[in-house]
Structure 1
């Protein structure tokens, strides 16, 4: 009886320890309506093209061939999943980059842009990433 209980408890602990709960991040919110404004999305697009496309863009946007060797790979944000992504997560990920877990131990090469972008610029990038998959010709 004791061994069944011990095995059950061990199994439960293993499941909890191995579950992918995702990273913990601050629940910040953009200013009201910020993500929906076309001018903010366009500013995010401009920043993306200038500073992010080398790793996250399509080949036609200037994606570097070295980005093909990143592991884990850098997403190009055209998946519809990014339309539903928590804006707070995208904001946090842009600002912290590879300096936080689980990305640090997984070998991410994403720089932390918190010192390089203002909060408004970061929210503009988030605004653009959320509509990027809807844009037919970037």
Structure 2
């Protein structure tokens, strides 16, 4: 009996650890100086308001009440943890949205923003990094 309990506990811990791991994503480098450029951050802020705020923004930024019911919840990019996220990871998540694992199987509703240019996605990344300070 003790063996089965230990085995079940180990399986549960493994599942939890796998859920919190960062998936593999492509290595990318932003254009030099873009993440710190005030004009890029401002452009990213405008893109955030028009494309992202309905799910990720504050109520004053146009957050939709339906976003409160997303499972998993849409991340709040004012959380300081995003200041330390790899810019290549943020770029990838914006680009692929819910279409990559583990996000697809977790029920994410994040759209893929492949219609944005690479520069626009980097501008969003610049804004998200600044927003999380």
- Secondary structure in 2 aligned to 1:105? helix
1:2-52 C-alpha deviation (Å, 9 max, x unpaired): xxxxxxxx89x9599643332110011101111010100000000001111
2:40 counterpart of 1:52: no
CA distance in 2, matches of 1:95, 1:28: 12
CA distance in 1, matches of 2:33, 2:13: 38
Larger Rg: 1
Unaligned runs of 5+ in 1: 1-9
Post-superposition offset of 1:76: 2.2
Post-superposition offset of 1:133: 2.5
Unaligned runs of 5+ in 2: 1-6
1:83-109 C-alpha deviation (Å, 9 max, x unpaired): 111000000000000001000000000
> Could you say if the C-alpha distance between residues 25 and 16 of structure 1 is closer, same or farther in structure 2, counting changes exceeding 3 Å?
farther
Query: How does 1:32-71 map onto structure 2 within 5 Å?
Result: 32-71=32-71
Query: How does 1:15-94 map onto structure 2 within 5 Å?
Result: 18=15, 19-20=17-18, 21-94=21-94
The residue number in structure 1 matching 2:130 is 131
Q: Tell me how many residue pairs correspond in the alignment.
A: 124
